[in-house]
Structure 1
Amino acid sequence: MKANVFDTRHLLAFAALARLGSFTQAAQELFLTQSAISHAIKALEEQAGCRLFERSGRRVSLTQAGEQLLRHVDKILAEMKSARNGLEELSRWGHGRLRLGASTTACQYILPTVLREFKQSFPKCIISIDPGDHARQVELLQQNRIDLALMLEPAGLKDLAFVPLFVDEMRYLLAPVHAWARAGRVQRETLERETLILYNQTSYTFRLVKEYFQAEGLPLANFLELGSMEAIKELVKIGLGVGVLAPWVARAELAAGALVSLPLGRRKLRRRWGVAYLRGRRLTLGEETFVGLCQSVTTEFAGPDSAAA
């Protein structure tokens, strides 16, 4: 039974002999003996089931079958050379790839600063970003379609490792003219009449907020949900409702007095952000650098009392 795949060593000998037309010269180029070249060609012809060379004294020339095979062999060897060059390129400083996943919020407020710093150390690294919600990031990691995911901590998934970055606190964000802002506290008796503006109803954050309100016995019937943090903040500014957001996504507005932050209640709703990856994977230098930069950039994102969380 003939083998389905040609031996690479036989193909190298074949290509050298076809180009040089001499067993002696082919042997010298490949640092082999003439006998080794002869055995390689004989084995290749037996595997191919036909003669590949015509012998005329010390010179050889390709048969028609040999010419046809050479066209394929040239392509195969060119691909092999390209593959080797690509692997060598990866081993050089600053080269390689980084496949990232991140929530829409992380893409907008965290990644730009992190990647700007990262590109200074790894200028030739090819970076791809797959934005999506929590469930999609978990799926992409488990399918090995991304290397790292900047996301909220996945609960109960033993196949994922998680490097914590910071803990934030979900709070009410409201316009300065709102009655709660003027009173300096949330008036629970008026909560049922308020329109809450929440992030995407299919998101992990919406689920956390809904569970919190249910556990606290708070009404969550009158709400709007949007897929953009910027849109939520703008609606809050013009008084169309009260947002439930983490203050770090509105740091500029809070500092300027355009928004006011108040706690949800006596019990805090906290979330843990970090970088997740498949457990058991050894992070590359580039990946470790990315995680370190995330830790540095998000130092100021933690909510009040987050150290105790």
Structure 2
Amino acid sequence: MKSKISLKQLQALESVVRLGSFTLAAKELGVSQPTVSNLVNSLEQHYQCRLLDRSGSVISSTPLLNSIRGDIKALIALRNDIDDRLTEARNLHSGTFQIGYSTYQIAMPFISEFVRAFPAVDVTARALASHDLLPLLYTGEFDVGLITAKELPPDLSGKEISETRIGLVVPKDHALADNGPVSWAEVAPLKLIQREPSSSTRQIFDAAAQVARVKLTTILGLGSWGSIRTLVTTGVGVGVAFGQECQNETGLAFVPVADKNLTARHFLACLPAMRHTSAVSNFFRIAEGKRHL
């Protein structure tokens, strides 16, 4: 009878590629380093394929492993969840949980509540533009992602958690600060400080301007709200951001642009196979309780 892939092999493989080391994987799994090597090598030999790239100083995954890494992580998580349920340990007394997010004002209330509810879980949260976050969600690098998009990608499981306006950010003493919604004609001559081109905020804003047939003057593309805030405060230019990003910001005002296309939707998403694991389902429950549309 042809032997099949074992859970121990998958656990060893996932640990090695996540930690970049056979030694660290062995320490995490509580076995010897040769045991981990044998588990991974036997898997590669059985299927006559390469799953790990050992050519560099740090071990990394091959394209083949990347294509199935999310499924492997989901399978391991489901196995752990079944074990927890069978032993009546449903309250997440241990484990790790990786979160990717694109906008910290949207994500942090959910993350903070999860950490308070499950203090024994080792939580890692990483900020990325949605365009850069999604590939890591698909490969299993993140358990869940909080992304900004027009629609939820069809091959992910998730829900909309918030909707927000995109507009201008100016100092409170700026001429536009108290004028209410401004027109694209008023936006055109401004020196804009935007997000990087891969950012959903930038893409939505630029697309709306193109529809309005307005040529924008973007002088900088930055990776974070903090950088935009600093340069707006010092008078370098006018920022482009979500309305939530300006809340409770001393000295700054959010100015909406009169355009219905400047609306961003925020989604909580995960791989379908991860949706009913304990950590992910509890994070969704927290987001459901806190969301506001």
Q: Which residue of 1 aligns with 2:238?
A: 242
Q: 1:272 deviation in Å?
A: 1.0
Paired residues, number: 216
Q: Deviations over 1:84-130 (max 9, x none)?
A: 99996785232343533323533xx3444433322333222222334
Give the Cα–Cα distance (whole angstroms) in 1 for the partners of residues 145 and 132 of structure 2: 10
- Contact 2:168–2:257 (CA<8 Å) still a contact in 1? yes
Q: 1:267 deviation in Å?
A: 2.5
- Contact 1:165–1:294 (CA<8 Å) still a contact in 2? yes
Q: Which residue of 2 aligns with 1:259?
A: 252
- What TM-score does the superposition give when structure 1 sets the normalisation length? 0.60
User: Match of 2:281, as an amino acid?
Assistant: E
Give the Cα–Cα distance (whole angstroms) in 1 for the partners of residues 122 and 172 of structure 2: 44
Say whether residues 1:208 and 2:212 are aligned partners. Answer: no
From 268, 281, 287, the equivalent of 1:275 is: 268
Q: 1:245 deviation in Å?
A: 0.9
Q: Classify 1:222/1:282 alpha carbon distance in 2 versus 1 (closer, same or farther; 3 Å).
A: closer
Give the Cα–Cα distance (whole angstroms) in 2 for the partners of residues 280 and 88 of structure 1: 17
% identical aligned pairs: 22
Say whether residues 1:223 and 2:219 are aligned partners. Answer: yes
- Contact 1:101–1:132 (CA<8 Å) still a contact in 2? no
- Contact 1:161–1:277 (CA<8 Å) still a contact in 2? yes
Q: Classify 1:125/1:221 alpha carbon distance in 2 versus 1 (closer, same or farther; 3 Å).
A: same
- Contact 1:110–1:298 (CA<8 Å) still a contact in 2? no
- Judging by fraction of residues, say which structure has more helix: 1
- Contact 1:201–1:225 (CA<8 Å) still a contact in 2? yes
User: Match of 1:144, as an amino acid?
Assistant: G
- Contact 1:169–1:268 (CA<8 Å) still a contact in 2? no
Say whether residues 1:173 and 2:169 are aligned partners. Answer: yes
Secondary structure of residue in 2 paired with 1:179: coil
Larger Rg, first or second structure (1 or 2): 1
Q: Which residue of 2 aligns with 1:97?
A: 95
User: Match of 1:291, as an amino acid?
Assistant: F
- What TM-score does the superposition give when structure 2 sets the normalisation length? 0.62
Q: 1:156 deviation in Å?
A: 7.1
Structure 1: gaps (5+ residues): 4-71, 77-83, 303-309
Structure 2: gaps (5+ residues): 4-30, 36-78
Q: 1:238 deviation in Å?
A: 2.9
Secondary structure of residue in 2 paired with 1:214: helix
- Contact 2:152–2:158 (CA<8 Å) still a contact in 1? no
Q: RMSD across aligned C-alpha pairs, in angstroms?
A: 3.3
Q: 1:210 deviation in Å?
A: 1.1
Question: Which residues of 2 match residues 12-51 of structure 1 at below 5 A?
Answer: none
Q: Classify 1:98/1:150 alpha carbon distance in 2 versus 1 (closer, same or farther; 3 Å).
A: farther
Q: Classify 1:295/1:249 alpha carbon distance in 2 versus 1 (closer, same or farther; 3 Å).
A: farther
Q: Classify 1:119/1:100 alpha carbon distance in 2 versus 1 (closer, same or farther; 3 Å).
A: same
User: Match of 1:164, as an amino acid?
Assistant: E
Secondary structure of residue in 2 paired with 1:225: strand
Give the Cα–Cα distance (whole angstroms) in 2 for the partners of residues 171 and 275 of structure 1: 23
Q: Which residue of 1 aligns with 2:195?
A: 199
From 132, 136, 140, the equivalent of 2:136 is: 140
